[in-house]
């Protein structure tokens, strides 16, 4: 029983990271009805930005809350600029193009970022700097609550609450919901869809940057292809919860994290990735709209 509870804690921590990345997918889809496959590579760039920022500022030997906050700010700034650039030069010119063109472009941008990162950063894995000290905060029997897990959960929850506040309690959030519902009508009401869409990419990229720091802190090895698998799992989480639904993305991510942890603990780590895509196949067969997704009638 104690082992089971420990796995629950680990699964929630992993699911919180998946949620941050899944939210980026679901926000873009909710407004543009497209899958930004380059989102996972923005996450990868965030990890490398934090890695080199820590080295340049001499933060490798001074782990702590200040180091974590500083690296989060730096990674979010650069990732938001990257997300803005991708939206402006890759997706905006194709906004009225067929969906297939946009899909191929998204895959192309993803591959471009991956292989450009290999050229710039090198293909060899790098050890992420020690952002915070990991230690046992308290234990109940054999159950250990570590500082890394608590930090991941706190940062993730704060980011999600901030996103929730932005979407439902601010004018920008109201504009985002209006553009998502009908961009043409929103523009007639004085909303600039281009600015709102660009802002959505910035917010999604910031969430990916936060996720990259948390992953680097918990699993301290980064490489130019690190976004591929976690991006796919976050995408599966978004589809599982109902892509386009913010709450659904969080729910799907938590289910993914807990399921993956249980598979590793009680079956075999060999099947952890296969299980994620098994969930995707099942959900597409039996509930294509996802757990919290809504079926809509599309005019043709």
How many angstroms separate the Cα of 182 from the Cα of each of 34, 51, 191, 245, 246? 15, 40, 11, 16, 18
Handedness of CA 195, 179, 197, 168 (dihedral sign): positive
pLDDT higher than threshold 90 for residue 284:
no
Q: Which helix (H) or strand (E) holds 211?
A: helix 193-218
Compute the C-alpha angle 60/12/263, nearest 5°: 105
- Taking only the tens place, the pLDDT of each residue in 129-143 is 888 888 887 777 777
Does residue 297 sit within a domain? no
Burial of residue 199 (CB within 10 Å: 0-12, 13-18, 19+) is buried
pLDDT score for 300? 45
- Taking only the tens place, the pLDDT of each residue in 38-75 is 999 999 999 999 999 999 998 887 888 899 999 999 99
Does residue 300 sit within a domain? no
Does residue 146 sit within a domain? yes
Q: Give the mean model confidence (pLDDT) for residues 256-269.
A: 88
- Of the candidate ranges 119-133, 142-156, 163-177, the one whose mean pLDDT is the lowest: 142-156
Backbone φ, ψ for residue 34 (5° rounding): -135, 155
pLDDT score for 81? 96
| pTM, to two decimals | 0.91
pLDDT higher than threshold 50 for residue 255:
yes
Does residue 122 sit within a domain? yes
The rounded mean pLDDT for the chain is: 89
Does residue 296 sit within a domain? no
Which residues make beta-bridge pairs with 222? 126
pLDDT score for 119? 94
Does residue 120 sit within a domain? yes
Q: Give the mean model confidence (pLDDT) for residues 240-257.
A: 90
pLDDT score for 297? 55
Q: Give the mean model confidence (pLDDT) for residues 168-195.
A: 91
Domain count across the chain = 1
Domain that holds residue 136: 2-286
- Taking only the tens place, the pLDDT of each residue in 185-228 is 999 888 999 999 999 999 999 999 999 999 998 888 999 999 99
- Taking only the tens place, the pLDDT of each residue in 142-162 is 777 888 888 999 999 999 999
- Of the candidate ranges 26-40, 94-108, 279-293, the one whose mean pLDDT is the lowest: 279-293
Which residues make beta-bridge pairs with 138? 145
Helix and strand counts by DSSP (H, E) for the chain: 11, 2
pLDDT higher than threshold 70 for residue 298:
no
Cα–Cα dist 256/197, whole Å: 28
How many angstroms separate the Cα of 169 from the Cα of each of 26, 108, 164? 19, 36, 8
Maximal CA-CA distance, the chain? 62
Does residue 90 sit within a domain? yes
Domain CATH for 251: 1.10.3470
pLDDT score for 139? 79
């Amino acid at each position: 029983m104690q082992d089971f509870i420990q796995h629950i804690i680990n699964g929630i921590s992993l699911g919180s990271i998946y949620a941050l990345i899944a939210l980026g997918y679901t926000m873009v889809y909710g407004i543009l009805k497209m899958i930004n496959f380059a989102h996972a590579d923005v996450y990868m760039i965030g990890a490398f930005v934090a890695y080199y920022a820590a080295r340049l500022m001499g933060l490798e030997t001074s782990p702590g809350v200040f180091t974590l906050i500083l690296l989060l700010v730096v990674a979010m700034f650069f990732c938001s600029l990257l997300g803005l650039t991708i939206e402006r030069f890759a997706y905006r010119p194709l906004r009225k193009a067929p969906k297939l063109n946009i899909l191929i472009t998204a895959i192309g941008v993803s591959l471009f970022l991956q292989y450009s990162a290999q050229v710039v950063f090198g293909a060899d894995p790098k050890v992420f700097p020690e952002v915070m000290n990991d230690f046992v905060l308290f234990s109940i029997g054999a159950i250990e609550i570590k500082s890394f897990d608590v930090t991941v959960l706190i940062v993730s929850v704060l980011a999600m609450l901030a996103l929730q506040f932005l979407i439902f309690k601010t004018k920008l959030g109201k504009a985002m919901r209006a553009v998502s519902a009908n961009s043409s009508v929103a523009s007639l009401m004085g909303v600039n869809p281009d600015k709102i869409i660009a802002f959505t990419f910035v917010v999604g990229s910031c969430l990916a940057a936060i996720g990259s720091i948390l992953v680097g802190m918990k699993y301290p090895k980064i490489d130019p292809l690190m976004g591929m698998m976690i991006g796919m799992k976050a995408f599966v989480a978004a589809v599982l919860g109902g892509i386009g639904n913010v709450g659904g993305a969080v729910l799907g991510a938590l289910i993914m994290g807990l399921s993956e942890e249980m598979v590793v603990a009680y079956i075999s780590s060999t099947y952890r990735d296969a299980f994620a895509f098994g969930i995707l196949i099942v959900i597409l067969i039996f509930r294509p709209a996802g757990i919290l997704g809504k079926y809509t009638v599309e005019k043709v």
